[in-house]
Chain A
């Protein structure tokens, strides 16, 4: 993944990305490792301008989350559910595609090699979900109002995995409101990059 990069990853970001990748190709709460690999392959095909799948809501969700997440609506997710894709499984696909975008985006931009996806185990899905999670202000089961780093917490392991890559790649939660924070970049530079990327992705959260 990082053997031939043009830029050297920081140790903490390298560790976070490698851990995220191991998690992505391992069994999840509602999907087997093989099913998560299928989601990864579908998302990568979408980024390579592959055609949109049809008649398989799981693949359709992975495709559209990859290339046009901002175009999804409540009606689309309702339709996925009507065709057999549970809200918990949809939420897991959201988390897999989202974290994959981080891993692939970082590795590719450093000049590294995107790893091939191979299932790390053949275990059955863990079933680790918050069974009494409810729809709150979004389309997925949640443990409260949807807050950015906690949006996956109806799947506790996925929520922890999200935060494990979010903080080293962006900023520690304790410093998010600290306008004078600085490392290699200042807080205004960090927030400009976040805002510009979100604008181009048409994400208005």
Chain B
């Protein structure tokens, strides 16, 4: 999924495209991605998804800004994903 493949979830491709649009073009309204998700899943799902993505724009900046380390409980997962938490530049 990190390579952009859509996840095996209902509306996975539309959810991916919304997250991508809201993150890679943060200052722009994600008109196309929002419209595609509304068309596929309805407005309630789209509004809910927008709230989640917006919240992780907050949490990512918060946790990187305070210098929070990778949670020790996730070190094994980090190595599975191919990086060593201690090697992250901090």
| Chain A residues with a Cβ under 8 A of chain B | 6-10, 13, 47-49, 65-66, 69-70, 72-74, 77, 91, 94-95, 97-99, 101-103, 105-106, 108-111, 137-140, 142, 146, 148, 151-152, 162, 165-166, 168-170, 183-186, 188-190, 192-201, 203-205
Chain B interfacial residues counted at CB < 8 A: 58
What residues of B have a CB within 8 angstroms of the CB of A184 in the complex?
44-45, 47-48
Also in contact, A110 and B53, with CB within 8 A (given A138-B69, A151-B62, A204-B78): no
Contact present for B85 and A200 (CB under 8 Å): no
Choice from A13, A47, A110, A203 contacting B60 with Cβ under 8 Å: A203
Contact present for A101 and B58 (CB under 8 Å): yes
Contact present for B57 and A201 (CB under 8 Å): yes
Query: Could you tell me the distance in whole angstroms from the C-beta of B66 to the nearest C-beta in chain A?
Result: 5
Main secondary structure of the interface of A (DSSP, over half): helix
Contact present for A193 and B67 (CB under 8 Å): no
| Chain B residues with a Cβ under 8 A of chain A | 1-2, 7, 9-12, 15-16, 18-20, 22-24, 26-31, 34, 38, 43-71, 78, 83, 85, 88-90
Choice from B9, B24, B27, B65 contacting A48 with Cβ under 8 Å: B27
